[in-house]
């Protein structure tokens, strides 16, 4: 019988399920390798701004058993990297912002650090990160964030300028807040101010707070922010979210599809947004989804459904994918960058940086008038 790609994929999934099942048994018997070897989150309260070296290992493809495949629904695979560093603060990346041309990035971690670097491309494919700097996110008075719950950064947006001199918004969970920061050649400044948290958002659990935050860049809601809690379901089982504009907030909802939770979001030029979602089950491992929400759907009180662009599982090169950004390629197309949070557990997890191009780019990124 012909050994098709589908058959190979199913064998991979069965093998991954068996591995996850073995981990479950190990956990239940108290012999989990993860429990014995996983490092704790680093205390970055006394961290200083320092340059770091990042090692980048290219991925041969996105689908593990078919590395030559580049077409995935409405996305085109452009390449990806496995990133590592000897610096113990490297990891836990939960938010990502790219410059408009994709030549520079900044990431934030749930350990309370920021990292900036230049992005290297070869032949149109991402090849590495250079000139990397890592430093602490600070308090409003310029002091250190001493408590873990104050340092848990989960999203970052570039609101204006560039990553060499611009304005950022950083979202935090545990101590839920949305703050404005400046970034320049010296790194990320202390916050200038925080937004008022919507009353309904105060019901968010400590580790299930602001995860997906995007700026709406076109259409009738241009300039507004849209934010979703990682896991706060309303009475109809939808994910809770908020539109934030001109000092006011209104409730929106995101339909739940199969128990995935939103982990990040990014706005496109025409007012659409793309939401990154994740699901973990012991018997299947981790899954990832990208969902497109059209600008025409977005309104106060709306229940957003959108369109699934990509769903991936352990047969693909994914991990705990938490960070999403977008930029323009040299040909004008829109590139999505997705980064993973390794939970500071290099034994079982990886820091991945993946890139895809939107195929239907003329429709998705056209600026609305």
Query: To 5 degrees, how large is the angle CA 321–CA 161–CA 85?
Result: 40
Q: Is the pLDDT of residue 28 over 80?
A: no
Residue 51 lies in a domain: yes
Residue 15 lies in a domain: no
Number of domains in the chain: 1
- At 270-283, the pLDDT tens digits run 999 999 999 999 98
Give the model's confidence band at 144: pLDDT under 50 very low, under 70 low, under 90 confident, else very high.
very high
What are 197-201's contacts with CB under 8 Å, separation 24+?
198/242, 198/244, 198/249, 198/251, 200/240, 200/242, 200/251, 201/176, 201/227, 201/229, 201/232, 201/240, 201/242
Beta bridge partners of 171: 155, 178
Q: Is 290 within 8 Å of 337 (Cβ atoms)?
A: no
- At 174-220, the pLDDT tens digits run 899 999 999 999 999 999 999 988 877 777 877 777 889 999 999 99
Residue 27 lies in a domain: no
Task: Return the minimum-mean-pLDDT range out of 20-29, 63-72, 166-175, 332-341.
Answer: 20-29
Task: Return the minimum-mean-pLDDT range out of 11-15, 51-55, 61-65, 95-99.
Answer: 11-15
Residue 80 lies in a domain: yes
- Phi and psi torsions of 9, nearest 5°: -65, -45
User: Which pLDDT score is estimated for 114?
Assistant: 98
Give the model's confidence band at 39: pLDDT under 50 very low, under 70 low, under 90 confident, else very high.
low
Tokens of 166: 């611009």
Whole-angstrom Cα distance, residue 153 to residue 341?
A: 12
Residue 4 lies in a domain: no
Q: Is the pLDDT of residue 1 over 70?
A: no
**Residues of the chain with pLDDT > 70: what percent?**
87
User: Which pLDDT score is estimated for 262?
Assistant: 96
Cα 115 to Cα 46, 130, 164, 187, 212: the distances in Å are: 16, 11, 13, 8, 19
Q: What is the mean pLDDT of residues 55-68?
A: 97
Give the model's confidence band at 2: pLDDT under 50 very low, under 70 low, under 90 confident, else very high.
very low
What is the residue range of 190's domain? 38-364
Residue 190 lies in a domain: yes
Mean pLDDT, the chain, integer = 88
Whole-angstrom Cα distance, residue 154 to residue 357?
A: 24
User: Which pLDDT score is estimated for 9?
Assistant: 54
Residue 339 lies in a domain: yes
User: Which pLDDT score is estimated for 10?
Assistant: 53
User: Which pLDDT score is estimated for 7?
Assistant: 54
Give the model's confidence band at 18: pLDDT under 50 very low, under 70 low, under 90 confident, else very high.
very low
Q: Is the pLDDT of residue 35 over 80?
A: no
User: Which pLDDT score is estimated for 236?
Assistant: 93
Q: Is the pLDDT of residue 17 over 80?
A: no
CATH number reported for the structural domain that contains residue 59 in this entry: 2.115.10
- At 72-99, the pLDDT tens digits run 989 999 999 999 999 999 999 999 999 9
Q: Is the pLDDT of residue 29 over 50?
A: no
User: Which pLDDT score is estimated for 4?
Assistant: 55
Residue 25 lies in a domain: no
User: Which pLDDT score is estimated for 201?
Assistant: 73
């Amino acid at each position: 019988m012909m050994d098709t790609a589908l058959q190979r994929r199913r064998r991979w999934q069965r093998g991954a399920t068996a591995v996850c099942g073995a981990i479950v048994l190990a956990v239940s018997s108290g012999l989990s390798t993860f429990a014995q070897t996983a490092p704790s989150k680093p205390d970055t309260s006394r961290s200083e701004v320092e340059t770091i070296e990042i090692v980048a290992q290219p991925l041969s493809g996105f689908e593990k058993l078919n590395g030559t495949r580049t077409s995935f629904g409405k996305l085109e695979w452009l390449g990806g990297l496995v990133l590592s560093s000897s610096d113990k603060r490297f990891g836990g990346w939960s938010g990502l912002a790219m410059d408009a041309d994709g030549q520079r990035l900044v990431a934030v971690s749930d350990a309370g650090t920021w990292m900036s670097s230049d992005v290297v491309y070869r032949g149109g494919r991402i090849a590495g990160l250079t000139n990397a700097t890592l430093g602490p996110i600070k308090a409003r008075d310029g002091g250190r964030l001493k408590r873990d719950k104050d340092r848990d950064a989960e999203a970052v947006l570039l609101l204006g300028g560039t990553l060499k001199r611009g304005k950022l918004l950083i979202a935090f969970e545990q101590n839920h807040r949305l703050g404005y920061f400046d970034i320049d050649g010296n790194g990320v400044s202390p916050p200038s101010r925080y937004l008022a948290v919507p009353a309904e958002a105060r019901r968010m659990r400590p580790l299930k707070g602001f995860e997906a935050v995007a700026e709406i860049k076109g259409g009738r809601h241009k300039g507004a922010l849209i934010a979703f809690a990682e896991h706060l379901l309303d009475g109809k089982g939808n994910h809770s979210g908020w539109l934030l504009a001109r000092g006011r907030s209104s409730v929106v909802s995101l339909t739940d599809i199969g128990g995935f939770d939103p982990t990040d979001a990014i706005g496109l030029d025409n007012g659409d947004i793309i939401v990154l979602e994740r699901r973990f089950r012991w018997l299947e491992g981790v899954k990832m989804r990208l969902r497109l929400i059209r600008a025409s759907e977005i309104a106060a009180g709306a229940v957003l459904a959108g369109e699934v662009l990509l769903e991936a599982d352990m047969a693909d090169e994914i991990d705990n994918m938490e960070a999403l950004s977008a930029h323009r390629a040299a040909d004008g197309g829109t590139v999505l960058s997705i980064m993973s949070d390794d939970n500071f557990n290099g034994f079982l997890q990886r820091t991945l940086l993946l890139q895809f191009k939107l195929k239907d780019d003329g429709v998705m990124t056209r600026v609305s008038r």
